[in-house]
Structure 1
Amino acid sequence: METSVDSVILEIKDMSKEFGTVKALKNMQLAVRPGRVHTILGENGAGKSTLMKILAGVYQPTTGTIVLDGKPFAPANPQDAARDGLTIVFQELSLCNNMTVAENILATREPSRGGFINDKALVRKAGELVKELGLPVSVTDQVGDLSIAQRQLVEIAKGLSIDAKVVILDEPTSSLSDSEAEILFRIIGRLKAKGVAIIYISHRMEEIMQLSDDITVVRDGSYITTRDKTEVTIAELIALMVGRDMKEIYPPRDVPAPAITERPVLTASGLSRADKFENVCFDVRPGEILGFFGLIGSGRSEVMNTLFGMAKASGGTVSIDGSEVKITSPVEAINRRIGFVTENRKEEGLVLSHSVESNISMVALDSFSSVFGFLRRRRERTAAKAEVDRLAIKTASLDTLAGSLSGGNQQKIVLAKWLLTQPKILILDEPTRGVDVGAKFEIYKIIRQLAADGTAILLVSSELPEVIGMSDRVVVMSEGQVTAIADPAQMTPETIMHFATGSTS
């Protein structure tokens, strides 16, 4: 695709970035035009995040030049980038949980009076932005009390509080359902109408085709091509991105789903938690993939936290293999062979300052201990290496810090950690959040294999195609209640969204 130089607001030429001997970017190029959405598409480890961090001033390029609005652009930090007219909403949340929504949105730019922060003006200014964007949050709420999806919307509002010529959105819908994503799409439409250029990163192919004007594909740190959205298909983009044809997105079942008459491995009856959810009833059988879908505030993640002992139920019962149990802590859940891949990998799933190996083995350390309590390091390392190979985790070594890896590879480490425990029941809360289409397929194959081996899977996802493509049944929730449990014959997007919006018939 040829791009007129006159219409380019941001241009990158011959850029490379090296970390020691690792070449993260090689001769990268990009031309972004005002009033258009330019998607950067590539697998995890392709160089997208490195490129965005250079644009935001987090990293400095090894070679290459950047021009923004006709002027050389070389920000030393995100504040420099913002002053020059470029703002970024990172995939990983950068909010302070002990501060309010308003304080987070206007952090470092608080209105003041007499040298002190003007709290009334702060709340008013942030409130005007939240109202303009149509976000379902109150600016006086503590961020730590919000759901991950609500925090994601606050992160977006924080980025958009700066008047920018170029806005970078890195996986902005990774924890949003279709309904919540529509809020963002309306915001993007308004930004385009004002002539703002949007650089968009997402692994959701249908979303990319809906939003994009231009699409640049990168692979292994190198520029591959730029296409107009109207000139390319999803299948062609996937082939360009992964370097091979992919005929399937969701792998088929190799064995039939368990019969509804089989004895459940886990049953929730009338499960309730004050102000979060009420009278939740479902069961899951060995080898079944039971999907959970709902919009912001539906209570689906809160149910999973309660099942895993992270929060206490206020009513109802949970039974495993027909016997009622009281799970009051994650340790007790683990002892009952329940695993939990949390949606919030950064705060709850990983120790970012520890190595890949220690993150993978931390829950299963008992299995690597001798009778005298000493750790069998060689056995631990061999097991961790096997999971790295199994999930194709891209890391320089087992000793690499987990925090230095891409979001998708971090997510695979969390999954590997729980697979090592050989769980009987595995809770997967947004297991493919921020994971590219090629890696998603590998994770889906693992999920299918676990089900085939008899593991009961509770799959929570904001991606409706994922829920439909992977689940044997779907529990639909709205405002803390189960509105339907859909069998395969009912699992159409229209039916599930009908129940997710609160309808029960």
Structure 2
Amino acid sequence: MTASTAAGGASATGAPILQLRGIGKVFFGNSVLRGIDLDVRPGEVHALVGENGAGKSTLMKIIAGVHKPDSGTMELDGKPVAFASPLAAQAAGVSTVFQEFNLLPERTVAENVYLGREPRRLGIVDAGRMARDTDALLADLGLHGLASWMRVGSLSVAEQQIVEIVKAVSCDARIISMDEPTAALADQEVELLYALVEQLRARGVAILYVSHRLKEIFDLCDTITVLKDGDFVLTTATADITPDRLVRTMVGREFAGYYPDKDPGTVPGAVKLALEGAGNTQVDGIDLEVRAGEIVALAGLQGSGRTEIAHGVFGVAPFTRGTILLDGKPVTVSSAREAVRKGLALVTEDRKAEGLALEQSISANARLVLDSVTPGSSDRRAKAIPGILSSLDLVSRSKDAEVQYLSGGNQQKVVLAKWLVTDPSVIVLDEPTRGIDVGAKRAVYDLMRTLTARGVAILLISSELPEVVAMADRILVMRDGRLAGELPAGSDEETIMAMATGAGDTSEHVEVDLSALDVPVGNAARAPQSVLPGGEPASPRHAQRDTTQEDQ
């Protein structure tokens, strides 16, 4: 199919419930959307894909009533509509689940589901009815692991994501837009979302699905619409396109392999970072080594202790026992500033909350670490910032632009730049490619290969097993706050997951049920901590196609 293909190449039949034609949007004289066509049909999961900055979020916000289009038309059930606000869109049956949760952690599931539209009796909130209606809705969707009385702050990230979707369903939504719904989920939690999407599909709900994870697109979606630089490229049935062709369409160029090959001349050198019996209240008995020029991956389920190791190494939540060795010498790292002075760097998993000062410029963010912890040499080292930003292919009209207006991929490049300017010898990368497009991911992978070729030691934490398998020289698997074992480079995903879950472990304390769709309640996500000032699901829907683009 070509760019001239009419929108609506779905396998679903029937008239579109939502139809967009020629949608355009201009911000401050900059055209961000031009001539976008989109059809979404009942019971269809329609993927909206493209690189960061392609216009996906702007289009979603137009559909959600956040922005008004400057040109084009939008029809719902064949009738022209123009939503004045998100509430107006919601009243018409159009709901949006954004990547950033809009939940109150201290309130219950029921209170969050009906937030702002609580049922009342004699002018007073009818808590009993609200709870009963929520439980009935959860049961109807097959979500038996959740209950109306549970406090949202005690739920796992996956369960909180489900609560957001349940909120949308409770509004009698006929169209639900989902923006990166699995970005913060570990692999075993994604299956819960898959099951819910299938439930909604069966109920005739239309789903507009935005994700950078190609496997999800090919597992779940009936139709794919590609945007590039604000332009409509094509709409195609998922069965009619391969992952390779989809990547080429999105980025406009060939990819010589999704993951870059390791330079055969890069041989691990001396041990740069070592932990001996390290532990605190969250992890215990951690022994590991990372050598110069080596990528060691920490794999494991959400809450297994991977991020806690990163925080211990970097002094955010210091280890209270055991030893940290840098270049073979025992050191004490009790704060982030101390870690930086010892040549450590930490790219945190939440770039917006922990890694960036969003209202400051690119240049100011690139200097954050220097100005905070190395004032004596900051001016000298700051001279390297333009070259570092250029080497990362940062896309921006000006280095004075505020970081909040950059795409996710470009924001991550700024985070990387602020650490690279410190010239670290050890870098801890916690979910470095979360929520960024395939082009930006490749840039991160290329950077990792470049750094190891220079002798930098990298500790990689990732929930994407294909990324772990492709990039790591060794894989350390975490389970329940301890190291469950070590695997060599090239180990398959099933072996990693079996070790991470304890499958096949006959110890009495291990209980694993991989067939269960409900995530156990109480697997609460830990709150993020500030670091520096400024701060493979089962049952694929399209298994007959080659979906190995992200698995190579």
The residue aligned with 2:452 is: 451
SS, match of residue 277 in structure 1: coil
Counterpart-to-counterpart distance in 2, 1:290 and 1:394: 30
Change in 2 beyond 3 A, CA 1:121/1:136 = closer
Contact 1:135 1:153 in 2 (8 A): no
What one-letter code is carried by the residue in structure 2 that aligns with 1:433?
Answer: R
Between the aligned partners of 2:135 and 2:24, the Cα distance in structure 1 is: 41
How far, CA to CA, are the matches of 1:336 and 1:394 in structure 2? Answer: 31
Structure 1 match to 2:481 = 480
Structure 1 segment 98-113 matched on structure 2, within 5 A:
103-112=111-120
Residues paired across the two proteins, number: 495
Query: Could you tell me how far apart the structure 1 residues matched to 2:455 and 2:167 are?
Result: 44
Deviations 1:478-504 (A, max 9, x none): 222221211125x10110111111247
- Name the residue aligned to 1:412: 413
Paired amino acid for 1:467:
V
Letter of the aligned partner of 1:271 in structure 2?
Answer: A
The verdict on how the C-alpha distance between 1:312 and 1:202 changes in structure 2, with shifts beyond 3 A counting, is same
Q: 2:549 corresponds to which residue?
A: none
For structure 1, the residue ranges without an aligned partner over 5 or more in a row are none
Q: What TM-score does the superposition give when structure 2 sets the normalisation length? A: 0.83
For residues 38 and 181 of structure 2, the distance between their equivalents in structure 1, rounded to whole angstroms, comes to 21
Identity of aligned residues (%): 42
Q: Deviations over 1:190-240 (max 9, x none)?
A: 000000111111111122111110001111100011111111101111111
What is the distance in 1 between the residues matched to 2:329 and 2:122? 64
Kept in 2: contact 1:49–1:406 (CA 8 A): no
- Deviations along 1:403-435, one digit per CA (max 9) or x if unpaired, are 122222222221222122111111111111111
1:222 and 2:231 aligned: yes
Q: Which runs of 5+ in 2 are unaligned?
A: 506-552
Q: Which residue of 2 aligns with 1:337?
A: 343
Looking at structure 1, the residues matched to 126 and 323 of structure 2 have their Cα atoms a distance apart, in angstroms, of 49
Instruction: Find the aligned partners of 1:394 and 1:449 in 2 and give their Cα distance.
Output: 20
Pairwise mapping of residues 14-163 of structure 1 onto structure 2 (< 5 A)?
14-96=22-104, 103-112=111-120, 115-117=123-125, 132-133=142-143, 140-141=150-151, 143=153, 151-163=160-172
Structure 1 moving runs of 4+ over 6 Å: none
What is the aligned partner in structure 2 of residue 272 from structure 1?
A: 279
Structure-2 residue corresponding to 1:493: 493
**CA distance 1:155–1:273, change in 2 (3 Å):** farther
Among 150, 154, 171, the alignment partner of 2:180 is: 171
Matched, 1:361 2:362: no
Matched, 1:290 2:296: yes
How do residues 191-210 of structure 1 correspond to structure 2 at under 5 angstroms? 191-210=200-219
| CA apart distance, 1:146 | 6.2
CA distance in 1, matches of 2:285, 2:22: 59
Structure 1 residue 370: Cα displacement: 7.0
**Distance in 2 (alpha carbons) for counterparts of 1:389 and 1:337:** 23
Say which structure is richer in helix: 1
- Per-residue deviation, residues 64-101 of structure 1 (Å, max 9, x unmatched): 11112223222222222111111111123334456555
1:232-284 superposed Cα distances (whole Å, 9 cap, x missing partner): 1011111111111113110011245545xx5421112222232x333222211
Alignment of 1:178-327 (within 5 A): 178-256=187-265, 258-259=267-268, 262-274=269-281, 276-327=282-333
Task: Report the TM-score when normalising by structure 1.
Answer: 0.90
Structure 1 distance, partners of 2:91, 2:189, is 30
- Where relative contact order (Cα < 8 A, 6+ residues apart) is larger, the structure is 2
- What is the distance in 2 between the residues matched to 1:325 and 1:129? 54
**Structure 1 residues 63 and 478, CA gap change in structure 2 (3 angstroms):** same
State whether residues 175 and 430 of structure 1, in contact with CA within 8 Å, keep that contact through their aligned partners in structure 2: no
Corresponding letter in the other structure for 2:483: V
